[in-house]
Homo-oligomer: A and B are copies of this chain.
Amino acid sequence: MTGWPRADAAEVETLAEFGVATVHEAIGRTGYLGPAIRPVYPGSRVGGTAVTVLCWPGDNLMVHAAVEQCRSGDILVVTTTSPSSDGAFGELLATSLQHRGVRGLVTTGGVRDVAELHAMNFPVFSAAVSAQGTVKATAGAVTVPISINGQRIAPGDAVIADDDGVVVVARAQVGSAVTAARARVEKENAARAAFQRGELGLDRYGLRTVLSERGVEYLDYAAYQESAYQESQ
């Protein structure tokens, strides 16, 4: 598909600064692509607009097709019709993407040339590192909505990735996500300052009531230990 709308670049950039965990919370604890997708090297924090790719396992034909659809500010998001850890992406494809201004790659599959990707400073988030090569034999799809970890990713959606993983924000929600994330950061800043002064989350979040409603009781250790011993005789 061609000609799809993209989320606003400046707003995506702002979301990236907030980071994955904050954005995920701000949009109601949705959009997280799951703990299986990890950075291949630590320390990146990046945002972009999704170009989606659906490949056959062991086949990266559609990744090549997708490169042409990418432009500056995009992030390529790849999944496969069946699970595949094969190294469908490496340094040469990264060179092509970097030339076009693409910000990074997210994949449920595998990548290779990780030393080279690190040296290029091209952020990659994947479920596996694998040298296993792929063929270019079977059709898939580019810029169709895909789904990873139960989360829908459409072309043009915002994708934010850092050491906590990857979160997606639907294009239509990006504006409100910026507002909500900004509010959350302010709340977190206030909480951090309070915790540095020694305030407890129990008090700050009103959790003592919750604990007592749920029936949590405080016992004295020595008394409990003695009664447990008696019980076991």
Contacts and interface: CB of A to CB of B under 8 A. Distances in A.
Given A2-B220, A34-B130, A132-B24, A164 B200 contact: no
B192 A95 contact: yes
Given A147-B150, A147-B152, A191-B92, A210 B79 contact: no
A122 interface: no
Contacts of A222: 3
Nearest to A145: B152
Contacts of A9: none
Nearest to A155: B221
Q: Which of A3, A113, A162, A201 has the most CB of B within 10 A?
A: A201
A10 interface: no
Interface residues of A, number: 106
A86 B57 contact: yes
B58 A81 contact: yes
Interface in A206-233: 207, 210-211, 214-216, 218-222, 224-225, 229, 231-232
A183 interface: no
A106 B19 CA distance: 24
A200 B146 contact: no
A220 B57 CA distance: 27
A42 B119 CA distance: 13
Contact of A207 (B30, B64, B155, B210): B64
Given A95-B196, A96-B195, 13 more contacts: A21-B87, A24-B133, A68-B202, A92-B188, A95-B195, A96-B201, A114-B164, A129-B163, A129-B165, A136-B210, A139-B214, A139-B215, A148-B150
23 contacts: A1-B219, A2-B220, A3-B221, A21-B90, A24-B133, A35-B85, A35-B110, A35-B128, A61-B207, A67-B201, A82-B132, A95-B195, A96-B195, A113-B164, A114-B163, A115-B163, A130-B165, A135-B138, A136-B205, A137-B137, A143-B221, A155-B221, A172-B231
Give me the 8 closest cross-chain CB pairs, A-B, nearest first. Answer: A139-B214, A147-B147, A4-B221, A35-B130, A29-B133, A131-B164, A64-B201, A57-B58
